[in-house]
Structure 1
Amino acid sequence: MNLEISPACRTALEHWLTHLKALQDASENTLIAYGSDVTDFLGFMSAHFGGPQGLGALENITTGDMRAWMAAARSEGISARSLARRLSSVKTFYRWLAERQGFEPTAVLSARAPKFQNKLPRPLPQQAAKAVLDTVALQSTTPWVAARDVAVVTLLYGCGLRISEALSLRRADVPLSGTLRITGKGGKERIVPVLPAARAAVDHYLSLYPFALDPESALFRGVRGGALGPGAIQKAMAQTRAQLGLPASATPHALRHSFATHLLEAGGDLRSIQELLGHASLSTTQAYTAVDATRLMDVYNKTHPKA
Structure 2
Amino acid sequence: MAAVHQNNLGRALVRFFQDYLPNQRGMSSHTIRSYRDAIVLFLRFVSRDAGRGVERLEIDDLRPERVTQFLSSLEEQRGNGIATRNARLAALHTLARFLATEHPQHMATLQALLAVPFKRGAKNAPIEYLEHGEVRDLLDVIDRSDDRGRRDYALFALMFNTGARVQEILNLRPRDVRLDSPAQVRLTGKGNKIRICPIWATTAGLLRPLCMACEGAADDLPLFVNQRGQPLTRFGVRYLLQRHLANAASKSSTLANKSIHPHSIRHTTAIHLLKAGVDFASISQWLGHASLNTTMVYARADLDLKRQALLQVFPDALAPPKAGDLALGGVNLVDWLRRL
TM interval, shorter chain, is 0.7 to 0.9
Q: Which residue of 2 aligns with 1:266?
A: 276
Map of 1:138-177 to 2, 5 A cutoff? 139-142=143-146, 144-172=147-175, 173-175=177-179, 177=181
Deviation at 1:99, TM superposition (A): 2.9
Q: Which residue of 1 aligns with 2:21?
A: 20
Contact 1:154/1:197 (<8 A) preserved = no
| 3-state SS in 2 of match to 1:113 | coil
Q: Which residue of 2 aligns with 1:188?
A: 193
Shift in CA distance, 183/35, structure 1 to aligned 2, threshold 3 Å: same
Q: Which residue of 1 aligns with 2:207?
A: 202
Contact 1:241/1:250 (<8 A) preserved = no
Contact 2:284/2:292 (<8 A) preserved = yes
Contact 1:13/1:35 (<8 A) preserved = no
Shift in CA distance, 276/244, structure 1 to aligned 2, threshold 3 Å: same
After superposition, what is the alpha-carbon deviation per residue over 1:151-191, rounded to whole angstroms, capped at 9, x for unaligned?
A: 22221111112333333322333535533220123422222
Paired amino acid for 2:43: T
What is the alpha-carbon distance in structure 2 between the residues aligned to residue 127 and residue 76 of structure 1? Answer: 37
Matched, 1:253 2:263: yes
After superposition, what is the alpha-carbon deviation per residue over 1:33-92, rounded to whole angstroms, capped at 9, x for unaligned?
A: 242255368659978xxxx8866x58xx9xxx63x3355446757558365344322221
Contact 2:166/2:262 (<8 A) preserved = yes
Paired amino acid for 2:315: K
Q: Which residue of 1 aligns with 2:43?
A: 39
Shift in CA distance, 222/72, structure 1 to aligned 2, threshold 3 Å: closer
What is the alpha-carbon distance in structure 2 between the residues aligned to residue 202 and residue 183 of structure 1? Answer: 18
**2:66 maps to which of 45, 65, 69:** 69
Q: Which runs of 5+ in 2 are unaligned?
A: 318-337
Paired amino acid for 1:281: S
Matched, 1:296 2:309: yes
Shift in CA distance, 20/83, structure 1 to aligned 2, threshold 3 Å: same
Q: Which residue of 2 aligns with 1:240?
A: 248
What is the alpha-carbon distance in structure 1 between the residues aligned to residue 58 and residue 229 of structure 2? Answer: 49
What is the alpha-carbon distance in structure 1 between the residues aligned to residue 308 and residue 161 of structure 2? Answer: 22
Deviation at 1:242, TM superposition (A): 3.5
| 3-state SS in 1 of match to 2:196 | strand
Deviation at 1:124, TM superposition (A): 1.0
Contact 1:21/1:31 (<8 A) preserved = no
After superposition, what is the alpha-carbon deviation per residue over 1:235-258, rounded to whole angstroms, capped at 9, x for unaligned?
A: 344433444442353444332211
| 3-state SS in 2 of match to 1:180 | strand
Contact 1:16/1:96 (<8 A) preserved = yes
Shift in CA distance, 219/162, structure 1 to aligned 2, threshold 3 Å: same
| Highest RCO, 1 vs 2 (Cα 8 Å, sep ≥ 6) | 1
What is the alpha-carbon distance in structure 1 between the residues aligned to residue 279 and residue 92 of structure 2? Answer: 37
Shift in CA distance, 11/177, structure 1 to aligned 2, threshold 3 Å: farther
Shift in CA distance, 289/165, structure 1 to aligned 2, threshold 3 Å: farther
Shift in CA distance, 21/152, structure 1 to aligned 2, threshold 3 Å: same
Aligned length: 286
What is the alpha-carbon distance in structure 2 between the residues aligned to residue 193 and residue 287 of structure 1? Answer: 23
Shift in CA distance, 34/254, structure 1 to aligned 2, threshold 3 Å: closer
Q: Which residue of 2 aligns with 1:99?
A: 101
Larger mean Cα displacement after TM superposition, 19-28 or 148-157: 19-28
Shift in CA distance, 38/93, structure 1 to aligned 2, threshold 3 Å: farther
**TM-score, reference length from structure 2:** 0.67
Identity of aligned residues (%): 24
What is the alpha-carbon distance in structure 1 between the residues aligned to residue 152 and residue 296 of structure 2? Answer: 29
Shift in CA distance, 221/71, structure 1 to aligned 2, threshold 3 Å: closer
What is the alpha-carbon distance in structure 2 between the residues aligned to residue 169 and residue 265 of structure 1? Answer: 28
Contact 1:151/1:201 (<8 A) preserved = yes
